[in-house]
Amino acid sequence: MEKMKTHYLGLELKSPVIVSSSGLTKKIKNLVEAEENGAGAIVLKSIFEEQITYESNKAIDQSHHYPEAADYIRNYSKHNTLNEYIQLIKDAKKAVNIPVIASINCVSKLEWGDYAKKIETAGADALELNMNVFPFNPNEKAQDIEEKYYKIVESVKRNTNLPIACKLSKNFTNLPYFIQQLNFRGVNSFVLFNKFFEPLIDIEKEEITTSSILSHENDLKISLRWVAILKGMMPEIEISASTGIHSANACVQQILAGANTVQICSVLYRKGISEIKPIVNGISEWMNQKSYKAIDDFRGKLSYENIEDPTVYERFQFIKHFANIE
C-alpha cells in the first residue's frame, strides 16, 4: 500500500512496522513470514558482546592447563561468532526484499568498529547499536559513562558507511542532551527504548528469578512521552518507538507522537508472526477513517512541539491531576 510507506535510516519502508531484534529474527523462515505479513523491515537477532566474552572465557577456563592457547581461543571464539552472524545477514538478504538491519548489543568499545565494517560487507542495509553501559561503579561520573557511548559510536562511524540507529534506555540524567550529543557525532536515528533483564526474588525458594522478558500493552507509556518530547524538540532526528507496542492503536499513538517507525516483538511471541498483518491493516483502516493519505500526514501531530499545551507531557502534570485526591 503506497500510503503506508515511510522512511527510516535512509531506507524506504513499505510500512512503519518493524520486527525488532529477538530470537525470532535469527530464523530465515520467520523473516520471510514477516515480509509476507507486511513488515517494513527486520532487525536481526543481536550479536552480543557479553555472550562473546562469556563463550571466550568459558573456552579458556576449560583449557586452563594451556595458558599459551588463551589468546588463540579468545580470538577464535569472537570470530566464529561473527562469522555465524555474517552468514545470517547473507541468508536474510537472499530470502527477503525488505531492509535487513543488523544489530550489535555492546557494553564497551571492544572491536565493534571492525565488526561493523564486516557487517556492512555482508550486505546489511543498516546497523542498530543496542547500547547499555550499566552504571555499577559509584566512583564513576555520569559524564564518564556517557563518554563510553560516544566512543562506541565514533569507532563504528569511522569504520562503516552504514546508516546507524542507537537503541537506548531511558535511564539518563538528561536524555535530550545525551541524544543531542550523539546527533552531533553523526547519529540521526534512535530506538526508544530497549528492554533489559530484570531480576525478581522468589521468597519461597529465597533465590533470584526473572520477570517476564515480554512487554505488556501498558508499557507503551514508557516510550510514548519521550517520543513526543524528543521529536518535538529535535524534529530532524528519526525515532523508532519500541516496547509495549501490541496493536494498531499503539502504533498510531506512537506515530502521532512523532515516531518514524514502530518496533514490535512481544506480541509476535504471544500471537505469532502473522499478527503483523492485522496490525498493519489496522493502521491503514484508521487512516481511511481519518482521511489520511500518507503516514506523514499525521506523524508528529501530537508531538511536544505541535500541541497547544505541551506541559501535558511534563511530570508535574501528574501531581496537578491528583492534587485533590485524598
- The closest of 47, 227, 191, 229 to 122, measured between CA atoms, is 47
Of residues 96 and 135, more confidently modeled: 96
> How far apart (Å, rounded) are the C-alpha atoms in residues 49 and 59?
15
Least confident of 57-71, 96-110, 191-205: 57-71
Q: Give, in order, the Cα–Cα distances in Å from 200 to each of 132, 194, 207, 244, 309.
A: 20, 19, 9, 20, 39
Position 322 scores a pLDDT of 52
pLDDT tens, 160-186? 999 999 999 988 889 999 999 999 999
Pairwise pLDDT comparison (7 vs 78), residue with the higher score: 7
Rounded mean pLDDT of 150-157?
A: 92
What is the distance, to the nearest Å, from the Cα of residue 228 to the centroid of all Cα atoms in its chain?
17
Query: What pLDDT score was predicted for residue 113?
Result: 82
Alpha helices of 258-310 — where are they, by DSSP H?
Answer: 266-271, 276-290
Query: Phi first, then psi: what are they for 104, rounded to 5°?
Result: -120, 125
- pLDDT of residue 230 exceeding 90: yes
Q: What is the CATH number of domain 2-321?
A: 3.20.20.70
What's the pLDDT score for residue 54? 47
Q: What is the pLDDT of residues 38-79, one digit of tens each?
A: 999 999 999 876 555 544 444 444 444 444 434 433 443 455
* Residue located via cell numbers 534512535: 190
3-state DSSP assignment of residue 136: coil
SS3 state of residue 264: strand
C-alpha 297 chain-centroid distance: 25
How far apart are alpha carbons 84 and 253 in whole angstroms? 38
Strands 189-192 and 6-8, sheet pairing = unpaired
More confident call, 21 vs 135:
21
What angle is formed at CA 8 by the lines to CA 282 and CA 28, rounded to 5 degrees? 75
Whether the pLDDT of residue 126 is over 60: the answer is yes
CA distance 137 to 169: 18
Q: Is 74 helix (H, G, I), strand (E, B) or coil?
A: helix
pLDDT beyond 80 at 246? yes
- In the predicted structure, residue 311 carries a pLDDT above the cut 90: no
More confident residue, 273 or 81: 273
Question: Which pLDDT score, from 0 to 100, does residue 107 have?
Answer: 63
Domain boundaries of the chain, sorted by first residue: 2-321
pLDDT tier for residue 324 given thresholds of 50, 70 and 90: low
Which of 12-21, 134-143, 298-307: highest mean pLDDT? 12-21
